[in-house]
Amino acid sequence: MSLTLNEAETIAFQAVAFVAANEEAMAGLLRLTGASLADLKAAIERPEVLAAFLQFLLQNEARLIEFCQAAGLDPMAPSLALGAIEQHISS
């Protein structure tokens, strides 16, 4: 199964909303990326930033499952979304 870029971006924006709603998760993402909140807000539509949110979710199984349950997604969806976005970045 593969996703279109539009489908992948939709999942990524869901990931953004999920992480942003969790103060601890957002702080972890900021530490991991070294970016400031202002930097992320300014670049939120860039594929690299969307990919960073997906990568962050994929690094923690419990957080990933919580996200997928909240969003009503198959647990493979974030990984597929990341693959589609990374393919777009490299093309």
Q: Residue 1: what pLDDT?
A: 76
Residues 6+ apart with CB under 8 A from 80: 1, 2, 3, 8
Q: Which two tokens stand for residue 24?
A: 């601890």
Contact 18, 70 (CB under 8 A): yes
Please tell me the pTM assigned to this model.
Answer: 0.93
Contact 51, 58 (CB under 8 A): no
| Per-domain boundaries in the chain | 5-90
DSSP string, 8-42: HHHHHHHHHHHHHT-HHHHHHHHHHH---HHHHHH
Amino acid letter for position 21: A
For residue range 11-64, what is the model confidence (pLDDT) as tens digits? 999 999 999 999 999 999 999 889 999 999 999 999 999 999 999 999 999 999
* Mean pLDDT computed over 70-81: 97
